[in-house]
Amino acid sequence: MPTPLATLRTSLAELSDLATIQQNIHWDHQVVMPPRGASLRAEQLATMERVLHERATAPELGTLLARAASEVEGRDEGDDDAAIVRVAQRDYDKAVRVPADLRAGLARAGALGHTAWLEARARGDWSIFAPHLEGILELKRRYVDCFPEVDEPYDALLDDYEPHMRSSQVRALFAELKAGLVPLVRAIGERAGPDDGSLMHAAGAFPRARQEALVRSVVERVGFDPDGWRLDVAVHPFALGLGTRDIRITTRYDEDYLGMALYGALHETGHGLYEEGSAPSLERTTLAGGVSLGVHESQSRLWENNVGRSRPFMDFLLPRLREAFPERFGAVDGDALYRAVNVVAPSLIRVEADEVTYGLHIIIRFELEQEMLAGTIAIDDLPDAWNARYHEYLGVEVPDLLHGVLQDVHWSEGILGYFPTYQLGNVIAAQLAARAHTDLDGFDALVAAGDFAPLLAWLREHVHRGGRKLPPVETIERAIGGPLDVNVFLDYLRAKFGPIYGLEPGALG
């Protein structure tokens, strides 16, 4: 007779396999499926979702967890089995709280909301989407009611993406961040930029095949196992791990703009490396993969920005750019390239925002989400509230809904509580990069030489290996040797962009 723990491990391994199969058909859907397959694929994905949910909430699993818990009682906190039982129990408790009809209602509202969002965008008409958002909020409040122990409603939503994090913690971090960012953005905005980034933009200057070769050579050098990854094209780029030995990253190519594919691929590489890096012993357990979306985003941002937009990285990148596009980069030096990939400009669209202004886009969404959930803002007033905050924080005027409140897909699909994780990722990335810089001798010289192995090994040891074993904040605090601190992120921005924009230290807020 296998022990309860052994039976639990088998059951969780099958759950992990099913989730991976679902991811696999999702990847296929996004990357290679012919359009005619769409309607059948939607059925297949819905069936997989139902099967997974049935398994994840089966009463037998609850019984098995209870029996396995007594088997691992007294074991060391770092023990794999003890962690598996603990994390699986938390997943199970969360899954069984939400009634099946509410889950189905949320899925349906998200699908209809997405369609309405597309139509509202096409017609520039908020009233097409507003009733759907009202309905989604109503369901979200019912969802929150499934977790009566939370301090405040938003906590229940945030926990789905950033486990254990509370809204009050995010509010405190973001208040400090806003106080630092608003004056910094203003100071930069008042300077004529030293560069408009035009080096990276020109009609037809970047043929796709040459971009793809460049992207492959850069990503390869950063360091996937050569036999364990793929690069493909997707309209909305993403990365996923089908286990640790099969990493799929995607990017998209714009022949007029080199930054899209190159920095998009570096971003997804960071996500992919994290998925690849779980310890082999965690494969097919509850513990493999990323511990939270904030920590996941820290990995993508670290490679994209803290490394990929650093001055030393330009010394690695420039020879490759010269080889791929000699007519464009033949006479360019590293300093010019550095300025071109670090243009700061307050703008309307979050996904195009630079490192400095990005956080303000997130703070606006976080504030509005809390107000929507609390019912302190009417949905009809949301577009105006959005525009007023863009004026106040970023000093920009929103011309229409597409460049305003209808730009992001998240709310239309019922995804609320997700946005803060993007900016948490930026803060964590700055702290990890600072710590790795201290720990690794000659960090800048390594990056300049394209020797990324020491940094990757550092991330493997301090962040990747443990997967979901420790809660996210604990994972990060152990890695950086202290608490989350937005001042490290703000100091990083000041130290980097102050010199680029010729700002006096006193002008940096």
Which of the following is catalytic: 77, 162, 190, 268?
A: 268
Task: Pick the piece of the chain touching Zn ion (CB under 5 A) from 51-59, 133-141, 247-255, 289-297.
Answer: 289-297
* Cα distances (Å, whole numbers) of residue 4 to 94, 142, 379: 22, 35, 50
The interface region with Zn ion, picked from 19-27, 76-84, 294-302, 351-359 by CB under 5 A, is: 294-302
* Piece of the chain touching Zn ion by CB under 5 A; list 58-66, 186-194, 281-289, 296-304: 296-304
- How is residue 268 written in tokens? 């997804």
Which one among 300, 306, 421, 431 touches Zn ion, defined by CB under 5 A? 300
Beta sheet of 247-251, edge-to-edge order: 229-233, 247-251, 239-241
Residue 300 or 423 having the CB closest to Zn ion:
300
Relative to beta strand 247-251, strand 239-241 is antiparallel
Surface-to-core class of residue 302, CB atoms within 10 Å of its CB (0-12 exposed, 13-18 middle, 19+ buried): buried
Q: Contact region for Zn ion (CB under 5 A) — 17-25, 72-80, 300-308, 350-358? A: 300-308
- Is the CB of 80 or the CB of 297 nearer to Zn ion? 297
Nearest approach, Cβ of 445 to Zn ion (angstroms)? Answer: 28
Give the shortest CB-300-to-Zn ion separation in angstroms. 4
Q: Which is nearer to Zn ion, 276 or 297 (CB)?
A: 297
Beta bridge partners of 254: 257
Residue from 91, 90, 88 nearest 8 by CA: 88
Cβ proximity to Zn ion: between 285 and 300 the closer is: 300
Q: Which residue is nearest to Zn ion (CB)?
A: 300
Q: What's the one-letter identity of residue 167?
A: S
Instruction: Determine, following the binding rule CB under 5 A, whether residue 310 of this chain makes contact with Zn ion.
Output: no
Nearer to Zn ion, 300 or 426 (CB): 300
For 486, the token pair is: 């937005």
Shorter beta-carbon distance to Zn ion: residue 275 or 297: 297
H or E element at residue 141? helix 126-145
Q: What is the 3-state secondary structure (H, E, C) of 311-334?
A: HHHHHHHHHHHHHHCHHHHCCCCH
Q: What number of H helices and E strands is found in the chain?
A: 21, 3
In angstroms, give the least distance from the CB of 82 to Zn ion.
31
Measured CA to CA, the distance from residue 316 to residue 213 in angstroms comes to 16
Q: Do 389 and 367 form a contact (C-beta atoms < 8 A)?
A: yes
Closest approach of Zn ion to the CB of residue 226, in Å: 24
Nearest approach, Cβ of residue 243 and Zn ion (Å): 20
Of the pair 238, 257, the CB lying nearest Zn ion is at 238
Q: Among candidates 291, 313, 138, 334, which has minimal Cα distance to 221?
A: 313
Strands (DSSP E) along 206-246, which ranges?
A: 229-233, 239-241
Residue (250 or 300) nearer to Zn ion, CB: 300
The answer to the question of residue 431 lying near Zn ion (CB under 5 A) is: no
Q: How far is the CB of 293 from Zn ion (least distance, A)?
A: 8
Residue 399: exposed, middle, or buried by beta-carbon count in 10 A (0-12, 13-18, 19+)? exposed
Distance of closest approach, residue 463 Cβ to Zn ion, in angstroms: 15
Residue 316: both structure tokens together: 């690695």
Looking at beta carbons only, is 300 or 310 nearer to Zn ion? 300
Measured distance CA(221)–CA(240) in Å, rounded? 19
Report the C-alpha dihedral over residues 486, 492, 493, 494, rounded to 10 degrees.
110
Say how many residues touch Zn ion, by CB under 5 A: 2
Transcribe 57-83 into DSSP letters: T-HHHHHHHHHHHHHHTT--TT-HHHH
- Find the shortest distance in angstroms from Cβ 178 to Zn ion: 22
Q: Judged by CB under 5 A, which stretch of 86-94, 257-265, 299-307, 458-466 contacts Zn ion?
A: 299-307
Q: Which stretch binds Zn ion (CB under 5 A): 291-299, 318-326, 331-339, 491-499?
A: 291-299
- Please report which residue ranges of 74-197 form alpha helices under DSSP H: 80-97, 100-123, 126-145, 153-158, 167-189
> Does residue 210 contact residue 192 with C-beta atoms inside 8 Å?
no
User: Among this protein's residues, is 119 annotated catalytic?
Assistant: no
> If you ran DSSP here, which 8-state letter would residue 393 be given?
I
**Cβ 173 to Zn ion shortest distance, Å:** 19
Alpha carbon 87 to its chain centroid, in Å, reads: 21
CA distance 165 to 483: 13
Stretch that binds Zn ion, among 9-17, 139-147, 297-305, 485-493 (CB under 5 A): 297-305
Positions touching Zn ion (CB under 5 A) are 297, 300
Q: Which residues are catalytic?
A: 268
